[in-house]
Amino acid sequence: GQQVMQIPQYQHVQEGEDFTTYCNSSTTLSNIQWYKQRPGGHPVFLIQLVKSGEVKKQKRLTFQFGEAKKNSSLHITATQTTDVGTYFCAGRGGATNKLIFGTGTLLAVQP
Amino acid sequence: DAGITQSPRHKVTETGTPVTLRCHQTENHRYMYWYRQDPGHGLRLIHYSYGVKDTDKGEVSDGYSVSRSKTEDFLLTLESATSSQTSVYFCAISIGEAGGYTNEQFFGPGTRLTVL
């Protein structure tokens, strides 16, 4: 079945450093979403990408959708302690055509 | 938080007992979902509903059943709880799927279930 993998599983950075997480799907996606989950909290929607090659920015966060619509990335510039949490991608595609969540990347930011 | 509540928020139960988790929404959204979250697996879909009495299985549905008799409530039942069902369970809603694309999902606060 469809699989959505994220790398890395865990990243520890110093405050001010950049951070990137990558999302890769085994099948072509119709769209991809990104969510953030703070420790002890619930996932919160960040953004959705639909078009091939699409790039969207939210302040220090940059989201990209690959040309083949099988991969995506989230880049955070100059991390802050408020960025701590797990970032999930979620893509729709494959035989089930349902939203499949990636395994997540846990970001730790040291002040 | 899109008016989503889950109950109970924490539960400890014993192997073999039935358990029902409740998800309640106040905004009459059509689509509701149950996920489980486990380390290393992210969020995995258990069951979902696209309307009253309309439900379907997700990727990890074995051992779980659901019911939706009212728009606002989506119940998840573990028919005979096992230790492998120890997890954090999240309910989510969405306004649906438009134009072939999935709308964003809004999650409840979660239920932490421990099966001894």
User: How far, in Å, CA of B76 to CA of B61, rounded?
Assistant: 10
Calculate what percentage of chain B has a pLDDT beyond 70.
Answer: 92
Select from A48, A50, A88 the Cβ nearest to the Cβ of B42.
Answer: A88
Calculate what percentage of chain A has a pLDDT beyond 90.
Answer: 85
Give the chain A residue nearest B100 (alpha carbons): A30
Q: Write down the residue that tokens 């988790």 correspond to.
A: B21
Over 60: is that where the pLDDT of B99 sits? no
Over 60: is that where the pLDDT of B101 sits? no
User: How far, in Å, CA of B92 to CA of B74, rounded?
Assistant: 10
Min mean pLDDT across A49-53, A62-66, A103-107, B28-32 is at B28-32
| Cβ contact, residue pair A33, B102, below 8 Å | yes
User: How far, in Å, CA of A29 to CA of A68, rounded?
Assistant: 9
Residue count (chain B)? 116
pLDDT (average), residues B89-116? 84
Which is higher by pLDDT, B40 or A23? A23
Name B48's bridge partners. B33, B56
Structure tokens at B22: 């409740």
Calculate what percentage of chain B has a pLDDT beyond 90.
Answer: 78
pLDDT tens digits, one per residue of B27-68: 888 889 999 999 888 899 999 998 899 999 998 999 999 999
Residue A50, CA atoms < 13 Å, CB-side half-sphere: 7
